[in-house]
Amino acid sequence: GLLPPIEINPNEHKLQYAYALWYSRRSPGKQTSIQSYDQNLKLIGRFASVEQFWGLYSHLVRPSELTTHTDFHLFKVGIKPMWEDEANQKGGKWIVRLRKGLVSRCWENLILAMLGEQFMVGEEICGAVVSIRFQEDIICVWNKTASDVATTARIRDTLRRVLHLPASASMEYKTHNESLKN
Amino acid sequence: GTRIVYERAFLMNLRNSPISR
């Protein structure tokens, strides 16, 4: 259903975009169809100002405290965190694999960079995902145009900078089309 | 229009403002 627009008080600091935070959890081992993926996505909340973001964030469990196979998805309002969304159909994502213990700090640095428009790639960013897995954690940044090499390079460089990743850290770019085939 | 850009430190400072809670 359609949600009402997000109101902002004049004393709050407006963000460039409004965002929605989603949560999903899948049973390990089970194949996820598109339909069940959609049904697993739960909207936690929305915000359009810095103050509203902190109001929501401060009530959340830190990613490192989430159970295995859980994801948080922070996407611009109007873009569902699914390949099938129109904004994602020609897109892709940067994938950063993190050893255990780093995810909460990296996720916070990533979303602050996204909300503060630190990526400087115009309208290209769709959202970010943090995935808690058994042996490692994964964070991803989704963008609209996988074929735009300048944009994907800039996102990679910004990620390295804001996450303080060593040059050796493994980063991989995958188009959503490739992901669909797997 | 102008893009609304916020540095990390600025965002962190607003974390404890009364309207952020």
ipTM given for this complex: 0.93
What's the mean per-residue pLDDT of chain A? Answer: 93
What is residue A44's DSSP assignment? E
pLDDT digits (tens, 9 = 90+) for A104-138: 999 999 999 999 999 999 999 999 999 999 999 99
The residue of A13, A19, A57, A159 whose CB has the most chain B CBs within 10 angstroms, and thus the best one to mutate to test that interface, is A13
Closest CA to A123 of A163, A82, A83, A76: A76
Amino acid in position A146: A
pLDDT confidence of residue A30: 64
How far apart are the C-alpha atoms of A33 and A80, rounded to whole Å? 16
- Closest residue in A to B12 (Cα) is A112
Cβ neighbours of residue A2 closer than 8 Å, sequence gap 6 or more: none
A with B: how many residue pairs have Cβ under 8 Å apart? Answer: 51
pLDDT digits (tens, 9 = 90+) for A10-65: 999 999 999 999 999 987 666 667 667 788 999 999 999 999 999 999 999 999 99
Closest CA to A50 of A4, A9, A79: A9
